[in-house]
A and B are shown apart, each in its own frame.
Chain A
């Protein structure tokens, strides 16, 4: 679609930002250099758990080109605080979570391989690396625990003194007694044990930072790969104590993917900012891929037992869940809310479940911190719900689709037993459409045909729901959040009628420069190339909460709509004066203000010019200019939902899985740009398939990371995926003005159970864990042959 046209909502407008990206003109943090900049390299612990007896930096400081070698003592000397976790969780007994101190540079203990021991700042990165080898650290190696299942053992290694048995909290949600009662009257109970595998986020652009202290202004600037620069500034100001907010500017320029991993406030970025003052020079750090595997917050990593109580007809009576969640060695910025309020609140799935009770133990291990990763808690919940209902269907001899249909929520609003109130949806519609697109009834014939070719074919469903549009501030505040989760926007109309939209959302691949502009273009009736989107700079955008949790549409764009409402209202007042009509008679349509019932009118740009020249209206009543801001706080979460169908074949000789068909039917409410939505769904499915079949961060028993590169950490490739068949159903979200629900995480949430359910169907066993690698599936296929022979 041509850029110089008005772009309606629902049009597949090409991404405005792509020209910049695909011609190499993107401006990522590592592309930037500051005059006089020095380079930082972090010396990291090779041990999973050790006491630091002494650090001798003297030889390193004397190395050529070295500017400074700094340790945790230097940080402490300057009075800087540690990194924080911004969400307080209370245990069942009411006690607050046991959060261990998290210094940006280790003080006396290192707690995972990759933990930050010292920073070497030098003229070049190579000089810094040379000097790092000359830093002598005297470690007293301590016993480590990396295995989640062992972490709470009595008498095991203690990672933080404040957390006995490495337990951060023992949390619960739901109605314990009511759930017990449901089980007491159950005709059938289905139980499942699940390991939700640990994942590395792997954004294409690794993290990077440049800290630059201006002694003249006594102010810092930090360029960094952040999904939420204002939150970074808030944390660095209010908790780390780097500088007051008015003396700290955080800029997140072009950012190449995040998947959650760039939400958090990490040690390296903090240290670069601080060190720039300490050494009096800008300090730059760019993460290497190997460091990213070590230190970017990982995702998932749960062990769960789930039990489903059913009546004689396959209706769910109750659901009981016990999860142990790995937090890693420290609590990362939002880590505590992921296995709690982003997880257990979704355990009702798309189903009317009368009673749910969930317990979650969060534990420390000597591994990298774990925090939000695409979906954050909701994929873990969906995997559990969609696996156990599938297993229950097979145990009861029911068709998995029928089992789901029998338990769907059908009336809205629907209050679940786990906080969430579903506002709108039609789960039967998405299931029906998905089954039709997947030719579900034709599957047995395809399975038989595959068997003749020696392939084991399976089909799997995933009827997912997620809570997006994060989040109503008061609600999350009552659950322990340290911040509100509204969003802000400012619409600046220039005198010539073009527009700058300043948003607190942050685009790092989502295409906001296009969709946000598309919204403004449609609303104001001006061509899309006359709308620019400004984001990612705390000096330009007043405040914002950033992008994660599929919130930029439902929350970020709602703030823009609110600001646009104000712009339109003021413009109508001005138009009324210019047109010498009464304000109530002014209509705005297709970019023109007209006097109702006449042919008199003004283009939007003419009103904008009038607003700024201010010749034709009383400035005592109406201020000159046309610029409006808004803060939008959602009244509810949004609930994207849908049904994915995965059909695959396993080669029993090699254990290789080939996905032969994928149908995704999603209900995202209103869709602004279907092309961008499809891209989000494609990427999400790819990541979900990665989790199901390929990806796994592995530590050995000593806490050594053994998947530290792409030699051993398998990412999905294009050839691993089929062409997807996508379909949409639409129920408007009633809680925001555009009716949007969000689409950024759906694929990653829906995909894993669809794949594993298809594998259980293909192989005839429920005993398949993620990632279902070829080696694992070959062993399963072998066992199947042995089992059949025995029968």
Chain B
């Protein structure tokens, strides 16, 4: 089940700082909903453990996060894939673009998500809502985190 979502956030932080945060596993871990572990395993590759919770469903996904199309400080693509065992699998990614504004930075994302296996077979009615909610939460968390982080640093 493939879905596409878009959104944008205005972040009152300079673009360089936003870019740095986008590449900081600690920040990413805090922002990815349900992320329990996120470790860098290579220059552009991270290992992740995410617990996805939708209503009564609680599935643990082991997987990887990749950073690609790196174009500092204008953006990149962040993508991930996780194996949820009997629940199936989930894949997703987002093209993130940062542009400078007077107030700081505008972050625009175009995200896509795909699920397979049992989740796709049973959860058809909830896929779109959940994917949208997850993407929204991530970028909302991120915008808040990068704002808080930078202000703490000031």
Contacts and interface: CB of A to CB of B under 8 A. Distances in A.
A and B touch in the complex (CB under 8 A): yes
Interface of A: 46-47, 113, 129, 132-133, 290, 293-294, 700-702, 704-709, 711-712
Given A46-B116, A113-B117, A700-B2, A711 B124 contact: yes
Given A113-B116, A113-B117, A706 B89 contact: no
B118 A706 contact: no
Interface in B101-117: 114-117
B86 A293 contact: no
Interface string B9-26: 000000000000000000
A129 B86 contact: yes
Contacts of B124: 706-708, 711-712
B1 interface: yes
A704 B1 contact: yes
Contacts, number: 54
B72 interface: no
A706 B117 contact: no
Given A47-B116, A132-B86, 5 more contacts: A46-B117, A707-B121, A708-B121, A711-B122, A712-B125
B114 A290 contact: no
A432 to B, nearest CB: 46
B116 A704 contact: yes
Interface in B77-102: 85-86, 88-89
Given A133-B85, A711-B125, A290 B2 contact: no
B108 to A, nearest CB: 26
A711 B125 CA distance: 9
15 contacts: A46-B89, A46-B116, A46-B117, A113-B116, A132-B86, A133-B85, A290-B118, A293-B121, A700-B120, A704-B120, A706-B124, A708-B118, A708-B121, A708-B124, A709-B122
Contacts of B120: 113, 700, 704-706, 708
B117 A702 contact: no
A260 B131 CA distance: 38
The residue in A706, A707, A709, A712 that gathers the most chain B C-beta atoms within 10 A of its C-beta is A706
B116 A702 contact: yes
Contacts of B2: 700-702
A707 to B, nearest CB: 7
A132 B117 CA distance: 14
A47 B125 CA distance: 20
Contacts of B88: 46
Contacts of A712: 124-125
The residue in A46, A293, A294, A701 that gathers the most chain B C-beta atoms within 10 A of its C-beta is A46
Contacts of A700: 1-2, 120
Question: Which 7 pairs of residues, A with B, have the shortest CB-CB distance?
Answer: A708-B121, A46-B117, A704-B120, A133-B85, A704-B116, A712-B124, A706-B124
A132 B88 CA distance: 13
A129 B85 CA distance: 11
Contacts of B114: 702
Nearest to A134: B85
A709 B124 CA distance: 10
A705 B116 CA distance: 8
Contacts of B125: 711-712
B54 to A, nearest CB: 14
Contacts of A293: 121
Contacts of A294: 121
A774 to B, nearest CB: 16
A113 B1 CA distance: 13
Given A700-B1, A704-B1, A704-B115, A290 B86 contact: no
Contacts of A709: 121-122
The residue in B88, B89, B116 that gathers the most chain A C-beta atoms within 10 A of its C-beta is B116
Contact of A708 (B85, B86, B122): B122
A94 B2 CA distance: 41
A713 to B, nearest CB: 10
A132 B86 CA distance: 8
Nearest to B87: A46
Contacts of A706: 1, 120-121, 124
B82 to A, nearest CB: 12
A424 B86 CA distance: 56
A704 B117 CA distance: 7
A102 to B, nearest CB: 22
A712 B118 CA distance: 13
B74 to A, nearest CB: 30
B117 A290 contact: no
B118 to A, nearest CB: 7
Contacts of A711: 122, 124-125
Nearest to A699: B120
The residue in B89, B114, B120 that gathers the most chain A C-beta atoms within 10 A of its C-beta is B120
A290 B87 CA distance: 13
A512 to B, nearest CB: 35
Nearest to A294: B121
A705 B89 CA distance: 13
Nearest to B1: A700
Nearest to A43: B86
Contacts of A708: 118, 120-122, 124
A594 B123 CA distance: 72
B60 to A, nearest CB: 10
